[in-house]
Structure 1
Amino acid sequence: MEQRYPSIRVGGGPRQRGRVYGEAARDRVRISREAYEEAFGRTAGWTWAQARDAAAAYVAPVEAAFPQYLEEMRGIAEGAGLPFEDVLTLNTRTEVMYAAKARQAASLGRGECTSFALLGERTASGRLLAGQNWDWLAHCTETVVVLEVEQPGAVNFVTVVEAGLLAKASLNAAGLAVATNALVTSADRGAPGLPYHVILRALADCETPADGVDVVLGHVRSSSANYLLASADGLVLDLEAAPGDYRAVSVLEPEGGALVHTNHFLRPPAGQDDVSVWAMSDTHLRRQRALPALADPGRRHDPESIRGVLADHAGYPFGVCSHADPRVADGPAWATITAVVMDPAERRLWLTSGRPCEAPLLEVELGGLLHEPTPLAKHRPAG
């Protein structure tokens, strides 16, 4: 069985990479733009023009920190035949939702990602494995792409992402894997700062977990999110980040050889209310199921056994493997879109074409993309 999500290989400078990406994924980018226009209208009563106006507030923070990512967005827009403002809005969709005071939209959908990392003591290979179920609006089954990025003088990476967005779950040539979860606090109101998906793109460029910590803590963030970083050296850090600067971040480490995160804060930020459970009410239930299964000292997991855990239906339809609620005739349909498993040391990534209960976990053939030397690698001491 082949993956139904297309693979797109891009190279060159930021604008060129974006242009090739946008052109290759043109139909999927346009589906995404139309779907979010409908979502903003349905959940917030906003027109697409209003959403674009709200997105404009994030140009300055991105320009100040990572201007090359704006160039990538401009290239995507050119390739897809859309205005830059449309692609900017897609990449700031999380922040625009909060700017529209549309938390009610989040409360309608229970599924929002279960991420994990297993140290070598919990895996059959003895190597760290990391990944996630990605749960979101059901239209994303028609927009996911596997974006393979060659960057001269920088770090090559692959990311499983909605067409038109910069990055989501990723694995790079330095052996750094990134998984993620949405979080929500009372401070999530769309204040200008670095957007969620721009931070994910910056993490794909990092060569070490410490670089990733610098990205998340070193900038003012606009929205809450959880960033799980796992490296080829077997190191894992999980960063729970609320809006703001370094003072609104908690750092978690694995316990018992495993780390599982869903959509609530394990260490709520001081001075902010964690409203994640209200927004995603199955979050504790999914962690309750996934953590014991993955951390079980009597098991040694491989990618296929992890797929079995990620296919769990306890609490249906809002389980670790999430399905659209059959009781809801109108409104947004939310579901698990795909499962991702990564082996950072071997630079390997597996992906399901749909929910892990229905689709096999297949390895993505990367053709040496992640085996190119990174800028830091040539300086690394032996041993």
Structure 2
Amino acid sequence: MASSETPLSEYHPPVVELSGTHYEIGVSHGRQLRDQIRKQLDIYKKMFLSVSGMEWPEVRDVAKAYHNTIHKKAYYLLDEMRGIADGMGDGTTVMDIVALNARSEIALGMWQDGCTALGWHLKSNSSRRLKKHGRQILAQNWDWRTEVGQNLALITIKQFSKPQIWMVTEPGIVGKIGFNSSSVGVTLNAIRAKQTHGDLLPIHCICRIALESTSVENAISRIHELGGAASCQTLLIADPSVCRGLEVAPHHITYLGEDKNGLITHTNHLLATKDVGEKAWEDGSQTRLRRVNEICGEIISTFDYDQLADEVTPQLLRQNVFSDRHNAPQAISQSPSDPQKSTETLFNIVMVFEHKEEPKAELIFGRPDQSSGRVYSLPW
């Protein structure tokens, strides 16, 4: 485990492989990541108190509604959360783990973060292999509190009769950002809106369910069947054929499609959804969205159409898009702007999906413009 002084670009995350029944998956998760989960609980206890004025017993009390909803709508994930608590073996309860997984909903849109995501469907007239279906890129800078970065983990999950999952997550949380063996990937951007419903699943459960899907269509169908998410968030979900943006709000989903260049981009404000009580975000969200579109436009103008599918690589996107410091500190590659709310880019992931090819991704920790550390290849 890295010390708090270790630069995040040099962070070496725990790599955890989980399999078995859902309870067994949870127990293994809790045992292998016990120290990181304890630290996460300490971090969120302090954050809830400082930002929303809630002591942890009150947080756990609010989490009861989500406990009941997870039991009704995705009982196997509650089994997994129970296993995480039991695997820790230190008195941590399932309600503590539910609170971690519902932290976005319990905070009621009070927290600020960053995050810039894009999906890019690239085709080539000159390549027979890519002409029909193309190559799908799904990528994100994930921005959150600096102290969380030293606890992040790489997790793979093998479940009976479901695709294998590879994801980057906060220990104790069952679904986050990543992809599966069916070449379905998910990114997540937060939206500051107070509207939330305890009768719907927390967004991290929705991410996990999307990561268990066999296609974008399958993921969207499952999310619809469940009634959407308990809070307002944006997901980009991609497979080799298509990417869709989902602005999810309680009992409502708005879809965003690819533009004429095959692009979907998103930051931290709603583009199409209305009347959900969205709070004004820092102006960095609007600026980052304009900037990511500008840079992608520059890339498009640099190469011939037939070259794009080969030239738009994870390395090019890291260096040209996700390292951008325009409007710093509220840049695509974000640095802390407030010592009391030290938010920065904690990792960058670029996933690549193609028909009849194994899915793959490249991952770095820390800000892309500063990173001199290891590039992780997924699957590992």
TM-score (norm. length: structure 2): 0.86
In structure 1, what is the equivalent of residue 102 of structure 2?
Answer: 92
SS at match of 1:279: coil
SS at match of 2:80: helix
In structure 1, what is the equivalent of residue 329 of structure 2?
Answer: 317
Instruction: State whether residues 118 and 294 of structure 1, in contact with CA within 8 Å, keep that contact through their aligned partners in structure 2.
Output: no
Give ranges in structure 1 of 5+ residues lacking alignment.
Answer: 368-383
In structure 2, what is the equivalent of residue 219 of structure 1?
Answer: 226
Identical positions, percent: 24
Superposition pairs for residues 98-177 of structure 1, below 5 Å? 98=108, 103=109, 105-106=110-111, 109=112, 111-121=113-123, 127-177=135-185
In structure 1, what is the equivalent of residue 300 of structure 2?
Answer: 297
Instruction: State whether residues 269 and 281 of structure 2, in contact with CA within 8 Å, keep that contact through their aligned partners in structure 1.
Output: no
CA distance, structure 2, for counterparts of residue 197 and residue 280 of structure 1: 24
Superposition pairs for residues 4-83 of structure 1, below 5 Å? 4-81=12-89, 82-83=92-93
Greater shift after overlay, 294-303 or 316-325? 294-303
Instruction: State whether residues 196 and 232 of structure 2, in contact with CA within 8 Å, keep that contact through their aligned partners in structure 1.
Output: no
SS at match of 1:53: helix
Query: Equivalent of 2:200, from 193, 196, 213?
Result: 193
Greater shift after overlay, 302-311 or 349-358? 349-358
Instruction: State whether residues 259 and 291 of structure 1, in contact with CA within 8 Å, keep that contact through their aligned partners in structure 2.
Output: no
In structure 2, what is the equivalent of residue 307 of structure 1?
Answer: 318
CA distance, structure 1, for counterparts of residue 54 and residue 277 of structure 2: 26
**1:272 shift after superposition:** 3.0
Q: Counterpart amino acid of 1:231? A: D
Q: CA RMSD, aligned part only?
A: 2.1
In structure 2, what is the equivalent of residue 251 of structure 1?
Answer: 255
CA distance, structure 1, for counterparts of residue 186 and residue 300 of structure 2: 24
SS at match of 1:119: strand
Q: How many residues align?
A: 348
Q: Counterpart amino acid of 1:313? A: R
In structure 1, what is the equivalent of residue 344 of structure 2?
Answer: 335
Give ranges in structure 2 of 5+ residues lacking alignment.
Answer: 1-8
Give a deviation string over 1:325-372, Cα, whole Å, max 9, x none: 1xx34x2211111001111233112111211112257132535xxxxx
Instruction: State whether residues 5 and 353 of structure 1, in contact with CA within 8 Å, keep that contact through their aligned partners in structure 2.
Output: no
Greater shift after overlay, 315-324 or 72-81? 72-81
CA distance, structure 2, for counterparts of residue 151 and residue 189 of structure 1: 30
TM-score (norm. length: structure 1): 0.86
In structure 1, what is the equivalent of residue 269 of structure 2?
Answer: 264
**1:65 shift after superposition:** 1.3
